[in-house]
């Protein structure tokens, strides 16, 4: 009996897969990527995940209108929503539409309960996008997102999102007299803006992007410019880290 039950279950899975539209398959593949690669279980507890196409096509679950994930950050114990969207191209105006207007309005309303982040994968494959972005809904003014706008929110696609990075996106900007705004590229020591989230100059970032290894050892501290065996995820030396924290 167990064998027949297993075969029936396998047949149902195959049937669901064959009946699932391609766009939903891409969406579900990207959702798996978001959980397994970006919001990993050693950093983020999964509180809720909305139902997939196979369930909703049979019996629609009302809370499927919520964002795809509700997570709890293990560092801060704060809950937040994540809406996962994969896109493989832009429209005729060179912009990328992340959602329809109705979804956009729901996301803004939900943000009053707890933060809503849009996790966007672009190009490549849904299970392995070429580019990744994490954007707080409070920073989005339109469903159409331009390349210039997205640049600020780009994240590595081969390493989990650090909680400090996540919450810095919704934190108030530091006062001008708190930190100096001049920094160094951690690979070539070129003078650049002090921004621990972007510690490489544009030329060196292109080199890094070819391999996207977050643990690759660089040469200099992003803040003071002194020799330092850091990385793109740990761009400053210990002394500067204490000053900037």
Mean pLDDT of 174-190: 72
Whether the pLDDT of residue 87 is over 70: the answer is yes
pLDDT tens-place string over residues 110-123: 998 899 999 999 98
Token pair listed for 237: 């030396």
pLDDT tens-place string over residues 125-141: 999 999 999 999 999 99
The three state secondary structure string of 89-103 is CCCCCCCEECCCHHH
Q: For the domain made up of 19-168, give the CATH fold.
A: Trna Endonuclease; Chain: A, domain 1 (3.40.1350)
Residues of the chain with CATH 3.40.1350.10: 19-168
Mean pLDDT of 35-39: 95
Distances (CA, A) of 199 to 17, 143, 181: 43, 29, 12
Whether the pLDDT of residue 221 is over 70: the answer is yes
Whether the pLDDT of residue 10 is over 70: the answer is no
Mean pLDDT of 46-55: 73
Mean pLDDT of 101-117: 92
């Amino acid at each position: 009996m167990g064998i027949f039950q297993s075969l029936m279950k396998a047949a149902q899975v195959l049937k669901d897969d064959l009946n699932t539209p391609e766009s939903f398959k891409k969406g579900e593949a990207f959702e798996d990527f978001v959980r397994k690669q970006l919001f990993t279980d050693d950093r983020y507890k999964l509180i809720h995940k909305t139902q997939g196409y196979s369930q909703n096509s049979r019996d629609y679950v009302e809370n499927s209108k919520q964002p795809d994930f509700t997570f709890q950050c293990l560092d801060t114990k704060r809950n937040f929503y994540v809406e996962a969207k994969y896109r493989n191209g832009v429209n005729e105006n060179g912009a990328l539409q992340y959602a329809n207007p109705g979804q956009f309005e729901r996301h803004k309303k939900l943000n009053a309960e707890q933060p809503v982040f849009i996790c966007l994968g672009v190009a490549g494959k849904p299970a392995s996008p070429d580019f990744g972005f994490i954007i707080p809904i409070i920073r989005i003014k339109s469903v159409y997102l331009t390349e210039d706008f997205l640049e600020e929110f780009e994240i590595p696609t081969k390493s989990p999102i650090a909680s400090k990075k996540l919450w810095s996106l919704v934190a108030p900007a530091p006062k001008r007299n708190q930190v100096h705004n001049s920094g160094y590229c951690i690979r070539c020591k070129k003078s650049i803006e002090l921004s621990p989230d972007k510690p490489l100059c544009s030329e060196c970032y292109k080199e890094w992007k070819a391999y996207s290894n977050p643990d690759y050892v660089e040469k200099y501290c992003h803040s003071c410019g002194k020799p330092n065996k850091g990385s793109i995820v740990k761009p400053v030396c210990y002394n500067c880290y204490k000053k900037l924290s």
